[in-house]
Amino acid sequence: MNTSPASEDSPSPDERLPGRPPESAAAARARVCEVLRLAGVGLDSVTAADALLVTSELVTNAIRHGGGVTAFRADIADDVLLLSIGDADPRLPAPRTGTVERPGGYGWPLVQRLAERVDCRTHPDGKTISTVLRLA
């Protein structure tokens, strides 16, 4: 993984603002990398790879299927990464099997396997998916 400031995963200055949802999976990964780094988690570890994969899947799904990311939060507490992503679609994720004509369907089961806990909550403006990923 490239962690240099000039990498394509580097967020724009606007995307670094904690209150503003990231506009891309790369920007979300950059935020999670910073949270992990500050917590002393090696960015070349399996733990970081799992956290970044879950981040990518949830943000990409929010952009592709949920009308965009409306909220984003990544925090560490008690050796776990708490990750929450909101989008504008109240429909809950549903597993599907990919086909030749419509590949995919692997992301949601992957998130469920990698996270210790996954919670989905709907609200009038969409939904929020929250995950807990063990860091130690």
- CA 38/CA 103 separation, integer angstroms: 37
pTM (predicted TM-score): 0.83
pLDDT above 90: percentage of residues in the chain: 74
Question: How crowded is residue 130: how many other Cβ atoms within 10 Å of its Cβ?
Answer: 17
12-21, 93-102, 112-121: which has the highest mean pLDDT? Answer: 112-121
14-18, 104-108, 117-121: the lowest-pLDDT one:
14-18
Buried b (16+ CB within 10 A) or exposed e, 32-50: bbebbeeeebebeeebbeb
Cα separation, 74 vs 67, in Å, equals 20
Whether 15 shows a pLDDT value over 70: the answer reads: no
- Write down the pLDDT at residue 16: 47
Is residue 99 predicted with pLDDT exceeding 70?
yes
